Structure 1
Amino acid sequence: IEHVRARLARYKAPRKVIVVDTIGRSPAGKVDYRALKQLALDRVGA
Structure 2
Amino acid sequence: MAAAHAVAVARYLASPVLAADLERWEPVRAHLPWRVDIFEIGDSH
TM above 0.5, one fold? no
**What TM-score, normalized by structure 1, do the two folds share?**
0.29
Higher relative contact order (CA 8 A, sep 6+): 2
Q: Which structure is higher in strand share?
A: 2
Q: Which has the larger radius of gyration?
A: 1
**What TM-score, normalized by structure 2, do the two folds share?**
0.29
